[in-house]
Amino acid sequence: MRIVLFCEQKYAISILSPLQTEINKSNQHTALWFVDARHIPGFPLKDEVSWTNDMQEVYDFSPEAIFVPGNIVPYYLPGVKAEIFHGYAAEKKDHWIIRRYLDMYLTQGPYFTSHFQQSALKYKDFEVVETGWTRQDWIYENLHTFDEEKQRLLKTHQKQQVVLYAPTFSASMTSLPAIKDALKQLVAEKNIVLLLKFHPLTKQDWVDEYRQLAAENEHIVWIDDHQITKYILMSDLMISDTSSALYEALLLDKPVITYKNVADKQYWLDIQDVNDLSKAFEDVQTETFKQQRQWIIDNYDPHLDGKVAERMLQAVEDYISRHGVPRERKLNVWRKYQSIKKFGKLKIKQ
């Protein structure tokens, strides 16, 4: 099977990599990465995988399957277009919008599966298969990979816990303008080292401001790395807002504090006043919140078995065995226009 790993944003690299790992185990598949040069000027896997930033080359590759951790994929590309998601942010309305570009939704866990199955009954032009989320495979392989690095970090700073601050980039939902002084106070009061890990789309002014904060405080560490999951594994507690990354922490049974999270129901400790951060730090590490995290584990993604990518490949193969390989996705004029506007128009071979 010829497979395209559709990498539009930098964060997608770690989402797609487990699929490449699984493909490497088999002699039955060939993978080509599409890497969007507008968002990923330097591709860290450039010497390890087959890749291109030319959409015409992707089309000429004639893929049979395309794995997409995003919302839009060019309708004119051949192949089964499979949504594998870029996170667990169920509270974001954008997560549930059906844009009609995709043939399959490979869902993370029962909560997501049930919702997309309802949409599948309505639209009748895509299928839903529960596989788990690919980063769970990477987590499975690396549960203890960074234990020594964490211990060295704690020893260097002479602290007891690692706290990760990972906010969303969205201007309407981010905690970045409000929480800086509260973070400084938390570091001063608690026996912690604080890691700052920002989304790659974060506004540069905020990046510069918090880089300076880290430069001025010996126990605050700026992380410049596309792989957030590593630092979730290393952390004892996470602070965020409405970032989908908080669910990765919950799935690893890590306490989470958010600031003005917009979810209707919260399985963590949310604060409305940044001055409550210090007290929340103590409260969230109690048994009550551990029980709530277990609900997330059971319903959002219980598939920590190292076989998510394997199930995804099998699901697409099964789809092809029943329906064949789609030549292109049938869409209305507006959706076609949106696709062409974003990714360009090609020389389509007849």
Domain co-membership, 118 together with 168: no
State the Cα angle at 140 between 138 and 141, rounded to 5°. 65
Do 83 and 168 belong to one domain? no
Indicate whether 300 pLDDT > 60. Answer: yes
| Inter-residue contact 81 to 64 (CB < 8 Å) | no
Q: What is the mean pLDDT of the chain?
A: 93
Q: Which residues contact 66 (CB under 8 A, 6 or more apart)?
A: 3, 4, 6, 73, 77, 79, 80, 81, 82
Same-domain check for residues 311 and 286: no
With cut-offs at 50, 70 and 90, classify the pLDDT of residue 331: confident
| CATH number of the domain encompassing residue 196 | 3.40.50.12580
> Does residue 203 share a domain with residue 214?
yes
Residue 165's SS3 state is strand
The predicted pLDDT at position 113 comes to 96
| Rounded Cα distance, 4 and 65, in Å | 6
Residue appearing with tokens 């004639």: 62
Q: Please report whether residue 24 resides in a domain.
A: yes
> Is residue 159 located within the same domain as residue 281?
yes
Residue with tokens 């078995």: 305
pTM above 0.75, yes or no: yes
How much is the pLDDT for 204?
95
> For residues 166 and 187, what is the distance between their CA atoms, to the nearest angstrom?
15
Q: What confidence tier does 90 reach under pLDDT thresholds 50, 70, 90? A: low
Q: Which residues contact 53 (CB under 8 A, 6 or more apart)?
A: 34, 35, 36, 37
Q: Are residues 312 and 262 in the same domain?
A: no
Is residue 140, in this structure, part of any structural domain at all?
no
Are residue 269 and residue 339 in the same domain, yes or no? no
- In this predicted structure, what is the pLDDT of residue 328? 84
Residues 191 and 231 in one domain: yes
Report which of 176, 163, 272, 269 is spatially closest to residue 221, judged by C-alpha positions: 163
Range of the domain at 183: 145-300
- The answer to whether position 138 is within a domain reads no
Reported as a single tens digit per residue, the pLDDT across 11-24 is: 899 999 999 999 99
The H or E element spanning position 278 is: helix 277-283
Q: CA distances (Å), 214 to each of 116, 207, 217, in order?
A: 42, 11, 5
Other residues' Cβ atoms within 10 Å of the Cβ of residue 344: 11
Q: Is the pLDDT of residue 91 over 90?
A: no
Domain assignment present for 349:
no
Residue 260, number of CB atoms within 10 A of its CB: 16
Are 211 and 71 members of one domain?
no
Do 285 and 323 lie in a common domain? no
Residue 182: strand, helix, or coil: helix
The tokens for 221 are: 């560490």
| Within-domain flag for 139 | no
198 and 308 fall within a common domain: no
Express each pLDDT in 244-277 by its tens digit: 889 999 999 999 999 999 888 889 999 999 999 9
Same domain assignment for residues 107 and 151? no
User: Considering the chain, what percentage of its residues have pLDDT values greater than 70?
Assistant: 97
Instruction: Specify the pLDDT at position 122.
Output: 95
Counted domains in the chain: 2
Dist. CA 264–CA 3, nearest whole Å: 38
